[in-house]
Amino acid sequence: MAQGITLTQVLLIGLGFYIFHALSLGTTFSGAFYFSPLPMSLVVGIILGDVPQAMLIGAELQLMYLGIIAPGGARPADPSIAALVATSLSISSGMSPELAVAAAVPAGLLGEQLNNLTYIINGSCIQLADKYAEEGNSKGIFFAGAILPALPRIILTIPLMVIVYLGPTAGSAIINMIPNWLTNGLAVVGKILPALGISIAVTSIGKKNLLPYFLLGFFIVQYLSIPILPLAIFGFIMAYLHIVFTNKDDKLPSLSFDTGEESQVYSVLSKKDINKAFFIWWTFGESNHNFERYQAATFTMALSPIINKLYDKKEDRIAAFKRHLVFFNTEALFGSVIPGIAIAMEEQKSLGADISDNAITGVKTGLMGPVAGIGDTLTYGIILPIILSLFIPWAKKGSWIAGFAPPIVFAAITIPVGLALCRLGYKMGSKSVAHLLKLGIVNKIIQGASILGLFIMGGLAASYITVSTPIAFNVASIPMPLQETLDSILKGILPLLTVTGIYTYINKFKGTYFKATLLVFALGLILGAVGIIA
Amino acid sequence: MSKIELIRVDFRMIHGQVMVKWLKATGAQIIAAVNDDIANDPFLADIYGMAAPSNVDIKVFTKDKVIDYFNNNNSDNSKVLVLFKNVKDAHYCYEKGFPMEHLQIGGLGSGPDRINVHGPITLNAEDAKLLKDMNDKGVKIEFQQVPDDSKASLDKILKKYDFGLN
């Protein structure tokens, strides 16, 4: 047998998964691994020496996981685990991509349960951080918040390595065992699954009154066969025009956050201190996620060099560490404004201003929710799916770029925004959030990005949902394929019906992700086995 | 009268799960956020009001005002999502006549006396007692984070975990 897998390859895959996904370092870098299967498919493809095949599988999975988001840490499935299982199974056993993708769906669902287990275990790290805070030991807090949480995450890695190791044997057994009708059925499931991902993405991106943009994207690609990237250019221009034409004010709000009004000047702290706090926040924003206090340890870690600088007395430092080790959970990118605000309040307090612990905690916990509402909507609900969509055509061609680029592009776009927000938070204090929201720019960006996103989703649906029917009628002994008749009525009517059907199921009948997945499997298997859909 | 689509207790009030998931699942046009501290803090009340997407209105109420609003406002028939910060506030409003048939528990925070009863959602004896009281009086109570997730009824949770209520 040409295929197979060596122990070294298994260990390397485990290591790659651990470093890039399990450790979750760099929120918007590892965020691409957290929400997309493409980067992990590339890692496995490189190790097993078949990048083109890996990226093809990544592309299939990417379409079905396109709209996945995780507000408050609640994510329905783990795309990276699915990618790891499907890619290694397919390359090491020669299993077809359709079958490998079908095998990966339960892996993705189970993988999320493993993640939740680490979030529970990590609760004990935060209790250790409490102990170090009591001693005023900021290095200890760093150990408890950044180093120690890496250990439970090994739990994630070991079962996956076992699965990967057994892959070739299990894979061949499955291939030999599986009857023909099931193969046909699973092939149809594979064709419908992208419609599930696109429906979920449309649900999380779109306001209902913007849905015509989805149809526009869909029919432009159906009738004119435009590739996704040029389509995105049209979409961008259209989104811009929509905003301009519906804008009630004379001029568009400025893209700059600058206000001219700065209540805080760098007095004790320097720009470097703020930058450092932001980069600690960005690097470890999700790395010690736990169900007890979520990002409390990271928040304290980000502020601890500043706390050490501001407060000379040990008891003041201890008090400061303790007041930040309380429940905190926000979307880490837009949430960067909040460490900035807290830093400004700490600086004022250290200079003698009468700011109570409650005032600082109140601002933090008061702002974290509204900011997360905006951040989850924009960063993960719209921007990341758009970035990923643009690389799907590369993945379909088997190119490594589709796995390599998303984490880099996502980080490159978001780091400057996060840094600017953190600085704004410091300069304006708690007024910064009101200022940002009053500018109206946030809602305009959300609306523009929604339009672009929906338009691209329409294009993706037209390009990659390929359900068709093999049914043919004999009219006067001449076979008349039903598909041709359907095409002459409305091109792409079956893909469109598929995606609207799933969208309706999710939105009107409140179908959960899990139930929708089961439904797609059931329908696909039946329709495929009977031969209505191919 | 306004149509209440969902009443949720969530200690984070407005955040991603509500804004991305429940807002879309319910189609609500108004979010009524009920909390005395936020309503009495002009700065935070302002932020909450502005954190809404363009087609949604976020109104912040004190406990007493929200009861008035839902019992006396007949002209408006928007769909509403009601958010309470804690079980105590929800119980208070229910006792004072706030119309409540269903109550969703989305998150109650953590603390030394709290245990996880449904994923990350916790419960303690005090909240369990208040919830059971409402449940006994006919409010249907379910624990659920996001629409994608499974839900669990209070009955099921009280059978599984002992809060010393029986």
Q: Quick one: pLDDT at residue A1?
A: 38
Spatial distance between the Cα atoms of A399 and A285, rounded to a whole number of angstroms? 31
- The DSSP letter of residue A254 is P
For residue range B55-77, what is the model confidence (pLDDT) as tens digits? 889 999 999 999 988 888 766 78
Q: Is residue A74 part of a domain?
A: yes
Q: Is residue A493 part of a domain?
A: yes
Note whether A68 and A25 are within 8 A (CB): no
Which residues sit opposite B116 in a β-bridge?
B122
For residue A265, pLDDT over 80 is answered with no
> Beta-carbon neighbour count of residue B111 at 10 Å?
11
For residue range B106-155, what is the model confidence (pLDDT) as tens digits? 999 888 889 989 988 999 999 999 999 999 999 999 999 998 888 999 99
ipTM topping 0.90: no
| Residues A81 and A213 reside in one and the same domain | no
Q: Are strands B140-143 and B57-61 parallel, antiparallel or unpaired?
A: unpaired
| Residues A171 and A212 reside in one and the same domain | no
For residue range B4-45, what is the model confidence (pLDDT) as tens digits? 999 999 998 999 899 888 988 888 999 999 999 999 988 889
> What is the share, in percent, of chain A residues with pLDDT greater than 90?
55
Q: Is residue A82 part of a domain?
A: yes
Range of the domain at A148: 7-181
For residue A3, pLDDT over 70 is answered with no
For residue range A504-527, what is the model confidence (pLDDT) as tens digits? 998 888 778 888 889 999 988 888
> What total number of domains does chain A contain?
3
pTM over cut 0.80: yes
Q: Is residue A16 part of a domain?
A: yes
Q: Quick one: pLDDT at residue A251?
A: 60
Q: Which of residues 352-411 of A touch B (CB under 8 A)?
A: 362, 366-377, 381
Domain borders along chain B are 3-160
| Residues A219 and A124 reside in one and the same domain | no
Q: Quick one: pLDDT at residue A2?
A: 43
Write down the mean pLDDT value for chain A.
89
| Residues A218 and A77 reside in one and the same domain | no
| Residues A41 and A148 reside in one and the same domain | yes
For residue range A286-295, what is the model confidence (pLDDT) as tens digits? 888 888 888 9
Nearest residue of A to residue B25, measured between CA atoms = A507
Q: Is residue A515 part of a domain?
A: yes
Could A207 and B20 be called an inter-chain contact, meaning their C-beta atoms sit closer than 8 Å?
no
| Residues A14 and A136 reside in one and the same domain | yes
User: Which residue out of A112, A338, A376 would a mutagenesis test of the B interface target, given it has the greatest number of B Cβ atoms within 10 Å?
Assistant: A376
The Cβ-side half-sphere exposure at A218, using a 13 Å CA radius, reads 26
| Residues A167 and A52 reside in one and the same domain | yes
Q: Quick one: pLDDT at residue A222?
A: 92
| Residues A455 and A519 reside in one and the same domain | no
H helices of A376-400, in order, are: 384-396
| Virtual torsion, Cα A239, A242, A248, A250, nearest 10 deg | 70
Give me the mean pLDDT over the A22-38 stretch: 93
Location of structure tokens 């207790």: B9
Q: Quick one: pLDDT at residue A496?
A: 94
Whether residue A4 lies within 8 A of chain B, CB to CB, comes out as no
Q: Which residue has the higher pLDDT, A487 or B38?
A: B38
Could B16 and A76 be called an inter-chain contact, meaning their C-beta atoms sit closer than 8 Å?
no
| Residues A134 and A243 reside in one and the same domain | no
- What CATH number does the domain located at B3-160 have? 3.40.35.10
Spatial distance between the Cα atoms of B62 and A176, rounded to a whole number of angstroms? 66
For residue range A42-51, what is the model confidence (pLDDT) as tens digits? 999 999 999 9
Q: Which of A302-316, A380-394, A436-450, B25-39 bottoms out in mean pLDDT, i.e. has the lowest?
A: A436-450
User: Which residue out of B17, B20, B40 would a mutagenesis test of the A interface target, given it has the greatest number of A Cβ atoms within 10 Å?
Assistant: B20
Give me the mean pLDDT over the A289-305 stretch: 92
Give me the mean pLDDT over the A452-463 stretch: 94
| Residues A56 and A109 reside in one and the same domain | yes
Could B148 and A329 be called an inter-chain contact, meaning their C-beta atoms sit closer than 8 Å?
no
- The DSSP letter of residue A67 is T
